[in-house]
Structures are given as C-alpha cells and as structure tokens.
C-alpha cells in the first residue's frame, strides 16, 4: 500500500504542538511499519530528524534531489521517500500544488496530520484535527490576509475565494481555518481527534458524524523528556539564556490564546501578595498576537528584571529549562490537547493549569487547576504549590504516573491501525 503524508508542517524550523505531533508521528511510523510504502510531501527539502529517520540527527542535511523531485533520506526499512513539491508562492501550496500531485500521481491513502485536506485527494484520506479554537475563541486568533497583500491581484484573489466558496468565506487566516476544517470533516474518509474534548467539539459545533472520528491521543518524546539528575548540565543551559533559579516556567506562543498576558498579571499579583516568593517568571516561545500587551504589563509594573523572555528555544535545551523550574504553569484559554503538560510531568515538575477545554482530561489529578479568566485564582494556585512542598510532591508523583498513559509509539500504532483498516 502506498501512503502519502503531508510533511510540510513537520518540516518547519520553529515547531509548536501541531508541528511536533507531525514530526514525531512520521518518525514513529518509520520505526514500526516495514510493510507499506510512504511518500512524504513537502514544499522544502527535509532536514534534521526528517532527513534521517533512523537516528534523530538534528544536524542531518538534506539529501540529493533527483530530476523528478525525490529527495534521498534514510529510513529503517528503506520504505520512505520524499517528494519536494516546488511552489513559487507562500500561500495555497496544499490546495493547488498538493492537489495537482494527487491528480497526476495519486496514492492509496493520504494522511494529513494538520487540518488541511487538499481539494483533490484520494477517497481514502485521513486528517488530524487538533482543536477548533478559531471557532470558539475567534477574537484570540489573527485574521491576517492570505494571498497577495495589495493591488489588483489582492482584490482578484479575494474575489476568487468568495466565488469558490459561494460567498461564505474571505481570504483570511480565520476563514481558511474554518473552511478547511469543514471541508475535511465532509470529505475525509476518517478524522483523528487528539482528545475526547476535540471530538465533542467537532460533533457539537459542526454536527460531524461521531462514527467518522477516532480519538488517538498525542504522545510526548520520553527519550528527551525524563527526570534529569545532572544539575551541572541544567545550570549550563540556564546560563545560556540568562535564567537564574528559582523560577516559574511557561512555554508556548506568547499570545492571547495562550493567555500569557494574564499569566504575567497573575505572577505580579502573587509576588505583591506573597513577599517570601522570590521566583522569577520564565516565558519561552515566539511572540504573536497580543505580545505588545505582555510587554506593556511588564514595563508598567517595573518587572523587567523578574520576567525573562527567551524567544524560541531549540528542543534539545527544553528539558533542562523544565528541569530547573519550581513550577510549570499552563494558563491557556483553549487547548485541544496540551503536550507541555506531559513534558513538565515527565521532568518531575509540579503543574498549575487552566480548568478549561481538554486540560482537565489530560492532566486529571496531576495538576492544580485554576480559572484562566481570574488572575487572582491563578496567583493563589501558583503560590499554593510554591509554598506547600507536600502538595508539590503529590502533584509530581501523580504526574509521573499519568504520563504512562501517553506514548509516541502508542500514538503511531493506533494511527497505523486506522490507516490499515481503510
């Protein structure tokens, strides 16, 4: 059987949850499947752990590309190929270039790990939908325009989108998320939801057929994320980013959806109320919609020396930043899964997290939950963990038990079973 996978998101340099899901799932499928043939489709040559599916060689350079667009890569059973689908624009690679590839060089099954099914696709297609926060919390998302920015071409592009969708959608990111999700739910043979919460959302909001949706939960990289006893190595990485313990840790985009501004407010509130707490707040992630508000709050309260913003950090350094933290906090306003919860638990770090969306399902009793809309509740829950060692130890112990339910291998095995069932 010939299986095609959209690897374009997995190949991004700056990965977040969806990209890491795609990346690790491809690598795990390569480990366990010796029977089927795979083609990974991408807009740019694969490098690092995607160019070498045998060893996770982060420095692996792209292999040679032949005249047909196939790139050389390493795979355990030599059954993975890569095809570079060149496209001159920064938009609509999936809907035009990948669609054309499906038309002229089809596969038996197409697997899309990140929402967007091409218009032309095999009858047997599988799409993973991670969440529909763009529907439930639209105000928290960017509505940036897709396509040419200005001029007659921009107007023509927007008109074409409206015409194609019978006037229901415009050429912006929010509308594209909405359209592509509806399209996938209608046309894909099967849908993977990463949590029971996401499945309920798809059924409730879109009236999707629950029989078509299979819940396969994310895993986390247990080879990288595990308890670290080497304090010297932790300090070495912390020094690299000018981080000094003790500190509270957050990782994710610095944006409205992730509720980062209110986290900063809650942190300042906690420090003002509890003078004995001297922990700094470390924010790791790329700046996005709402970052200006975060900077304004920090400056307004003169907390520049207490809030450390590192920007994006390579994954190889992440376990050490987790490992040095006294507390991990996850204040998101909407989440389809929340892989950082598992990573923190795996590093024996107590967790405080939002009591909304999928988070209670994933964390269960391994996190102290708070109302993400209430900075005072968030502040109290963070302080409670920092001041109560018995509670912190209980959360750590529970977290180490909880992560046993989530593995990359399990995620890949269930995904492969669904593919072969089709």
Question: What is the model's pLDDT at position 89?
Answer: 81
Question: What is the model's pLDDT at position 144?
Answer: 58
Q: Give the Cα separation of 72 and 63 in Å (integer).
A: 5
Q: Give the Cα separation of 26 and 420 in Å (integer).
A: 16
Question: What is the model's pLDDT at position 22?
Answer: 96
Strands (E), 44-189: 70-71, 80-84, 109-112, 125-129
What b/e string do you get for 163-185 counting C-beta neighbours within 10 Å, with b at 16 or more? eebeeebbbbebbbbbbbbbbbb
**What mean pLDDT, rounded, does the chain reach?**
91
Question: What is the model's pLDDT at position 139?
Answer: 76
Model confidence, pTM: 0.90
Question: What is the model's pLDDT at position 159?
Answer: 44
Residue 346's pLDDT band (boundaries 50, 70, 90)? very high
* Mean pLDDT, rounded, for 280-302: 93
Question: What is the model's pLDDT at position 161?
Answer: 46
Residue 17's pLDDT band (boundaries 50, 70, 90)? confident
* Mean pLDDT, rounded, for 255-280: 96
Tokens of 317: 């350094």
In angstroms, what CA-CA distances link 323 with 218, 228, 233, 319? 22, 6, 10, 6
In angstroms, what CA-CA distances link 115 with 90, 126, 413? 18, 10, 20
Helices then strands, each counted (H, E), the chain: 15, 14
Task: Return the percentage of the chain with pLDDT > 70, whole number.
Answer: 91
Lowest mean pLDDT among 20-29, 151-160, 242-251, 343-352: 151-160
Q: Give the Cα separation of 110 and 122 in Å (integer).
A: 6
Alpha helix ranges (H) inside 33-150: 99-104, 133-136
Per-residue DSSP letter, 65? B
Q: Which CATH architecture has domain 2-219+408-421?
A: 3-Layer(aba) Sandwich (3.40)
Residue 146's pLDDT band (boundaries 50, 70, 90)? low
Q: Which residues contact 193 (CB under 8 A, 6 or more apart)?
A: 128, 129, 199, 202, 213, 214, 215, 216, 336
Task: Return the percentage of the chain with pLDDT > 90, whole number.
Answer: 78
* CB distance 419 to 126 below 8 Å: yes
Report pLDDT digits (tens) over 355-413. Answer: 999 999 999 999 999 999 999 999 999 999 999 999 999 999 999 999 999 999 999 99
In angstroms, what CA-CA distances link 384 with 251, 279, 291, 332, 395? 21, 13, 28, 19, 12
Lowest mean pLDDT among 75-79, 140-144, 276-280, 364-368: 140-144
Question: What is the model's pLDDT at position 141?
Answer: 67
Report pLDDT digits (tens) over 126-136. Answer: 999 999 988 98
Question: What is the model's pLDDT at position 182?
Answer: 94
User: If you count them, how many residues does the chain have?
Assistant: 422
User: Helix or strand or coil: residue 21?
Assistant: helix
Q: Give the Cα separation of 345 and 323 in Å (integer).
A: 10
Residue 160, pLDDT > 60, answer: no
Report pLDDT digits (tens) over 47-58. Answer: 889 999 998 776
Q: Give the Cα separation of 238 and 177 in Å (integer).
A: 37
Domain with CATH 3.40.50.2000 in the chain: 2-219+408-421, 231-405
Q: Which residues pair with 327 in a beta bridge?
A: 248
Question: What is the model's pLDDT at position 362?
Answer: 97
* CB distance 185 to 191 below 8 Å: yes
Lowest mean pLDDT among 13-22, 142-151, 321-330: 142-151
Question: What is the model's pLDDT at position 165?
Answer: 54
Tokens of 422: 């089709």
Q: Which residues pair with 249 in a beta bridge?
A: 282, 328
Q: Give the Cα separation of 116 and 6 in Å (integer).
A: 9
* CB distance 122 to 14 below 8 Å: no
The residue to which tokens 């899309």 are assigned = 112
Please identify, in words, the CATH class of the domain defined by 231-405.
Answer: alpha beta
Residue 347, pLDDT > 70, answer: yes
Question: What is the model's pLDDT at position 103?
Answer: 96
Lowest mean pLDDT among 48-62, 77-91, 107-121, 279-293: 48-62
Question: What is the model's pLDDT at position 170?
Answer: 52
* CB distance 256 to 290 below 8 Å: yes
* Mean pLDDT, rounded, for 234-260: 95
């Amino acid at each position: 059987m010939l299986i095609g996978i959209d690897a374009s998101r997995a190949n991004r340099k700056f990965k977040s949850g969806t990209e890491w899901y795609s990346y690790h799932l491809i690598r795990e499928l390569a480990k366990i499947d010796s029977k089927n043939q795979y083609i990974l489709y991408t807009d740019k040559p694969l490098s690092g752990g995607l160019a070498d599916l045998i060893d996770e060689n982060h420095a692996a350079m792209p292999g040679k590309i032949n005249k047909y667009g196939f790139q050389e890569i390493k795979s355990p059973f030599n059954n993975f190929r890569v095809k570079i689908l060149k496209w001159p624009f920064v938009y609509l690679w999936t809907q035009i270039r990948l669609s054309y590839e499906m038309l002229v060089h089809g596969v038996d099954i197409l697997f899309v790990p990140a929402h967007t099914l091409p218009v032309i696709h095999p009858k047997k297609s599988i799409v993973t939908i991670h969440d529909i926060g763009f529907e439930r919390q639209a105000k928290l998302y960017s509505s940036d325009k897709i396509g040419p920015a200005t001029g007659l071409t921009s107007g023509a592009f927007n008109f074409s989108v409206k015409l194609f969708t019978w006037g229901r959608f415009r050429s912006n990111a929010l509308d594209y998320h909405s359209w592509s999700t509806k399209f996938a739910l209608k046309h894909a043979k099967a849908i993977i939801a990463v949590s029971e919460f996401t499945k309920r959302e798809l059924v409730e909001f879109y009236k999707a057929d629950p029989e078509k949706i299979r819940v396969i939960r994310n895993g986390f990289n247990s080879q990288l994320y595990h308890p670290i006893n080497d304090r010297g190595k932790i300090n070495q990485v912390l020094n690299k980013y000018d981080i000094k313990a003790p500190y509270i840790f957050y990782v994710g985009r610095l944006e409205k959806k992730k509720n980062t501004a209110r986290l900063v407010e809650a942190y300042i509130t906690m420090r003002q109320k509890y003078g004995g707490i001297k922990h700094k707040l470390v924010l790791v992630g790329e700046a996005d919609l709402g970052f200006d508000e975060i900077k304004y709050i920090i400056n307004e309260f003169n907390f520049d020396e207490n809030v450390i913003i590192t920007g994006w950090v390579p994954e190889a350094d992440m376990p050490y930043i987790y490992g040095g933290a006294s507390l991990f906090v996850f204040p998101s306003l909407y989440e389809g899964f929340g892989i950082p919860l598992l990573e923190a638990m795996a590093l024996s770090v107590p967790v405080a997290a939002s009591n909304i969306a999928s988070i209670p399902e994933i964390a269960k009793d391994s996190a102290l939950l708070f109302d993400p809309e209430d900075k005072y509740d968030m502040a109290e829950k963070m302080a409670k963990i920092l001041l109560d060692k018995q509670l912190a130890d209980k959360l750590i112990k529970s977290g180490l038990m909880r992560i046993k339910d989530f593995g990359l291998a399990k995620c890949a095995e269930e995904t492969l079973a669904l593919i072969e069932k089709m």
